[in-house]
Amino acid sequence: MTQEIAIDELQKIPDRIPVADTRTPAEFTRGHIPGAFNLPLFSNEERVRVGTTYKQQGREAAILLGFDLTGAKWSGFIRTALELAPEKRIAVHCWRGGMRSAAMAWALGLYGFDVYQVKGGYKSYRQWVFRQLKKPYSLLVIGGNTGSGKTKLLHELSTKGGQVVDLEDLAQHQGSSYGSLNRLVQPSQEQFENDLATRLSRLDPNRNIWIEDESRNVGRCLLPQPLWQQMQEAILFDLHVPLDQRVDALVNEYGALDKEFLVECTDRIRKRLGLEQAKQAVQAIREGRMADFIRIALVYYDKTYRKLLDSRSATRIFPIDLTTTEADLNAGLLIKTAQSIVERIDTTNA
């Protein structure tokens, strides 16, 4: 049995069903519904052939070519669907809910699957993504100089029941020139937006959401303008951590990384560090003096953070002095401070 379903309805199904994306591998790689699997009707090259035939010879010729190309594939499609949806309940989509998903839905339905064909396809999903990114959220931003332990604190807030959006995890990047850690692979911009929208959709908009302060770019991923603007206008808690503690934390995080990787990343910000400072930083890396390297780099990153902080409204910035690196204790202090400040602001605005 096959039935159409809107993307909003699909997202609300409590026991999420497998979603089969019938677009090409290239389309899927560029961006897809989080958790979906690729069940491509055509290869990248075949899709081009069908599209060219459609333009030059018309719809019917393209359909015939499509059947020629997929004729021997149908049993494979069904076997793959059975592996990923053993209960024979599945959703399918293509780009606009057209012939590719309709053909797959027909074949799976014929075999006995309960098939949900997504109205409007992936295009309608992207529209859903933009709606999530434009919604208002009650954001609380965690700021502080590099090495202040913001990410660890964010994770601790999550364990304590707080609502959290970890932008660096979604972007697979730590935000600085060294942020790939020589191992992280970033998603495409489109996939970053998809993953971010999915994360936001699963949170209660009536409760506060903790998020780490970031520049507009997290590596190559660009924060969507509506969310970025909300972050700029939100309350920011500026963590003040002693320099020595920050250096120790960063040495633990970056000190074991490949030296050539660190040198390459330092070269990328040579002009911003200053030529002499960059030279000293590279020498410290090569000699294994990681604390010295970190201290040199922090001069630049601290200056950059303060510049970003100056662009915010001072009335929305609240400093918090931290004397320990214990995330559990710091999270408790932050929660208590935030509760007091938010209640005070709500009372003032009432």
Return the closest-CA partner of residue 17 out of 38, 39, 36, 31: 36
Dist. CA 115–CA 4, nearest whole Å: 8
Query: Is 265 a catalytic site residue?
Result: no
- The two three-digit tokens of residue 315, written as one number: 């009335």
Question: Which residues touch 309 (CB under 8 Å, ≥6 apart)?
Answer: 143, 236, 238, 317
Catalytic site residue from 94, 108, 320, 327? 94
Dist. CA 80–CA 48, nearest whole Å: 24
- The two three-digit tokens of residue 164, written as one number: 């959290």
List beta partners, residue 91: 19, 116
Residue 123, burial from CB neighbour count under 10 angstroms (0-12, 13-18, 19+): middle
Contact 58, 76 (CB under 8 A): no
**What letter represents residue 52's amino acid?**
T
Q: Rounded to 5 degrees, what angle do the CA atoms 202, 205, 206 make?
A: 135
Give me the active site residues, please. Answer: 94
